[in-house]
Structure 1
Amino acid sequence: MARRGEAIPAISLKTLAGNVVELPSAYAGHPILINFWASWCGPCIQEMPELDRYAKAQGANGTQVVGIALDDAEAVQAFLQRTPVGYPILLDTAGPRDSGVQLGNPKGVLPYSVLVSADGRLLKQRIGPFAHGEIEGWSAL
């Protein structure tokens, strides 16, 4: 399990289209805000517009936002049709060794966010949703 200040483990997850993305290397050179969520998680759903706003404000050169859904692909697809976001969504299966656990969330509480440095180290962890305007302060490097 990753600890603050240490490099996060390499995690390979699929997109809804089935493409494999390797974290953190896919975003090397950029900080990454990784947000764990599920379509059945009310607080997760409430914070997604705020994550989307932040991702758009950061652009291609800022902190990259990546959502990891601990959910099944069909539920995620249906949810994103109703509530689209502009940042990438990856899929994982909730369990004792899922990517959220590997990144410091052993109890699997959602939503869960981590901030990873441009060189792949775990900087911050947060359980619970972001309120409007909170992400900028939390993610400041």
Structure 2
Amino acid sequence: MNTKRILAAAAVAAIAAGGGVLAGHWVRGGDVSEAGEAPVAQSAVAQLWSAAVTNADGKPQSLALYKGRPMVVNFWASWCGPCVEEMPTLAKLHDEYSKKGIQFVGLGVDSGKNVKTFLQKVPVDYPIYVTGFGGADLARAFGNNAGGLPFTVVIDAKGNVRATKLGEIRADELKRTLDAL
């Protein structure tokens, strides 16, 4: 377990230093088929709706209840410095954009115990779910091949991936993406 954390921390550090291909840049849409859908992204969204997640107390939850709503999905972990740094920004943006119908969701790629302890210290006003380390596979489905955190995905109301970002978000950049939904 400690080895996984050390490797994950090293990956985050490499990404923060610019080592990731996508680090620090929003990636828009994706390769679009004639039907107007990005096949890989559509598959990832389907995986999101069926993902096995729990709340911080370990009770099974379903992300499918968010179908049909524009969403910001943020993959994070309690041991990830940049993840913790961006949470206040995400909370402020959630407050602003929830009035416009945009749902923010945090997916903790961490243990339930760590997420629960973190949320007791740092309250967050948008839903936080626990994916465990399997959340890294879900993030990879959205194109996070580096496996780094934080990783943010913007999905429109039709279930299309509009943008992804590996690394800490900047409010102005995320606002531009959300205003275009």
TM class by shorter chain equals: 0.7 to 0.9
Q: Counterpart of 1:126?
A: 165
Change (3 A) 1:96 1:33: closer
Q: Which has the higher strand share?
A: 1
Q: Counterpart of 2:143?
A: 104
Decide whether the 8 Å contact of 1:92 with 1:98 is kept in 2. Answer: no
Structure number with greater Rg is: 2
Q: Counterpart of 2:52?
A: 12
Further displaced range: 53-62 or 102-111: 53-62
Structure 1 segments of 4 or more deviating over 4 A? none
Distance 2:111 2:66 in 1: 24
Q: Counterpart of 1:138?
A: 177
What's the CA shift for 1:68?
0.3
Are 2:126 and 1:87 equivalent residues in the alignment? yes
Change (3 A) 1:52 1:76: same
Are 2:106 and 1:40 equivalent residues in the alignment? no
1:18-59 CA-partner distances (Å, limit 9, x unpaired)? 343333x31122101000000011111010001011111122
- Structure 2: unaligned runs, 5 residues or longer: 1-28, 31-37
Decide whether the 8 Å contact of 1:96 with 1:106 is kept in 2. Answer: no
After TM superposition, the score normalised by the length of structure 1 is 0.85
1:96-116 CA-partner distances (Å, limit 9, x unpaired)? 962212222122110000011
Q: Which has the higher contact order (CA 8 A, sep 6+)?
A: 1
- Structure 1: unaligned runs, 5 residues or longer: none
Q: Counterpart of 2:6?
A: none
Distance 2:135 2:115 in 1: 21
Compute the RMSD of aligned alpha carbons.
Answer: 2.1
Change (3 A) 1:104 1:88: same
After TM superposition, the score normalised by the length of structure 2 is 0.68
Change (3 A) 1:50 1:97: closer
Q: Counterpart of 1:59?
A: 98
Are 2:117 and 1:78 equivalent residues in the alignment? yes
Q: How many residues align structurally?
A: 138
1:46-90 CA-partner distances (Å, limit 9, x unpaired)? 100010111111225521000000001111111111111100011
